[in-house]
Amino acid sequence: MSDSTGSPARRPDGRRPAGGGRRPSGDRAEVGGPSSVSPARRVAYEVVSAVRESDAYANLLLPVKIRRAALSAQDAALATELTYGTLRMSGYYDRVIELAAGRPVAAIDAPILDVLRLSVHQLLSMRVATHAAVNEGVDMARAVGSRSATGFVNGVLRTITRSEPAEWRQRVLDSAASDDERLALEHSHPLWVLRALRQALAREGRADELEDLLRADNAAPAVSLVALPGLATVAETQEQPAAFSPVGAYLEGGDPMDAPGVADGRVRVQDEGSQLAALALSRARPVTPGERWLDLCAGPGGKAALLA
């Protein structure tokens, strides 16, 4: 996983100098200046970097970046796959990078690590030409300000290209020190999350479903919309009604901001599970006009908006 201690300074080989602190708040890395980095990869890098630096919500930031960059539908799809695929499997990719680089990811400068993660996703999980993934990775490393780290990035990526994805998977699994770590690496989940899920399943007598749950947790989710009651209806979204939420709909494709009602706030992007959590609460404890509710879900306020 990404290390939380970024550094404003970099060693020539991309490693972090000892004792480096976090970047100042708001000093978000972007691919600056003219470069040969494709617009889709530029957008993906900026979102992945923002998630690492400031815990940004990728699902909220990515559409904004795509619109600002005026990406074509094809490039928007590429940026989306790069962003979510990289974030979803970053734990697994970090171990691949460590094995290829011969050093822990904590010793790699954070922006360069982001570049490597994006590149590894293309090499191991996408049908991107090897030379394109490597060349774009090197160009991106140069564009984010680490010109002298391009050799390091080039070397790591070319090492990865010498083995097939199945071989890297086996090497990653063989590097695990325990069965739990093997599962955590294979499915790219932090160990503490894996153990918490196991305990939750065990309480329900379903401990044998752990690996199925980890696998399902990595499946790309459908984009769900919520028609805020009193402001919009599911029919207005012109999308397929959700299977479980009476106010939800599934976006079949395209930019969510283009869906009717989204631009003016009457329809929002909200996971169906999040919708159901709010709706279940309202059924258990009906909301009375004028009441004050405290939202402790640590999100952008989607459940509170639905309850209102």
Which residues are registered as beta bridge partners of 269? 225
106 is in an annotated binding site: no
| Pick from 75-79, 101-105, 248-252: least confident | 248-252
| Pick from 10-19, 52-61, 120-129, 263-272: least confident | 10-19
Q: Which one is predicted more confidently, 44 or 274? A: 44
Confidence at 40, pLDDT banded by 50, 70, 90: very high
List, in sequence order, every beta strand (DSSP E) within 172-307.
Answer: 223-227, 240-241, 248-251, 267-269
Mean pLDDT of the region 269-280: 89
Residues 134/153, Cβ–Cβ less than 8 Å: no
CA-CA distance, 149 to 158, in Å (whole number)?
Answer: 14
Q: Percent of the chain at pLDDT above 90?
A: 59
300 is in an annotated binding site: yes
Q: Which one is predicted more confidently, 1 or 92? A: 92
Determine the pLDDT at residue 11: 39
What predicted TM-score, i.e. pTM, was given to this entire model?
A: 0.75
Tokens for 149, please give them.
């780290």
Confidence at 32, pLDDT banded by 50, 70, 90: low
CA-CA distance, 229 to 307, in Å (whole number)?
Answer: 9
Mean pLDDT of the region 215-219: 91
Determine the pLDDT at residue 35: 61
The CA-based diameter of the chain, rounded to the nearest angstrom, is 64
Residues 224/234, Cβ–Cβ less than 8 Å: no
145 is in an annotated binding site: no
Residue ranges, comma separated, of all CATH 1.10.940.10 domains in the chain are 39-170
Q: Is the pLDDT at 146 greater than 80, yes or no?
A: no
Q: Is the pLDDT at 294 greater than 60, yes or no?
A: yes
Tokens for 38, please give them.
């494709």
pLDDT tens per residue across span 233-245? 898 888 889 999 9
Determine the pLDDT at residue 265: 87
Q: Which one is predicted more confidently, 148 or 46? A: 46
CA-CA distance, 161 to 123, in Å (whole number)?
Answer: 7
298 is in an annotated binding site: yes
Q: How many CB atoms sit inside 10 A of residue 96's CB? A: 26
Q: Measure the CA angle with vertex 230, ends 226 and 231; round to 5°.
A: 65
Confidence at 31, pLDDT banded by 50, 70, 90: low
Q: What is the mean pLDDT of the chain?
A: 85
Q: Which one is predicted more confidently, 172 or 63? A: 172
Mean pLDDT of the region 214-221: 89
Provide φ and ψ at 226, rounded to 5°.
Answer: -125, 130
Q: Is the pLDDT at 12 greater than 60, yes or no?
A: no
CA distances from 66 to 41, 76, 79, 183, 269 (A): 11, 6, 8, 34, 16
Residues 23/6, Cβ–Cβ less than 8 Å: yes
Closest by alpha carbon to 71, among 33, 35, 43?
Answer: 43
34 is in an annotated binding site: no
85 is in an annotated binding site: no
pLDDT tens per residue across span 175-200? 999 999 999 999 999 999 999 999 99
Closest by alpha carbon to 92, among 165, 6, 14, 21?
Answer: 165
Determine the pLDDT at residue 15: 44
CA-CA distance, 58 to 48, in Å (whole number)?
Answer: 8
Distance of CA 69 to the CA centre of its chain: 19
297 is in an annotated binding site: yes
Tokens for 118, please give them.
């994006």
CA-CA distance, 206 to 203, in Å (whole number)?
Answer: 7
Q: Measure the CA angle with vertex 132, ends 128 and 136; round to 5°.
A: 115
CATH placement of domain 39-170: 1.10.940.10
Confidence at 173, pLDDT banded by 50, 70, 90: very high
Helix-helix angle 191-203:179-186, to 10 degrees: 100
CA distances from 132 to 71, 95, 118, 197 (A): 19, 22, 12, 38
Determine the pLDDT at residue 30: 60
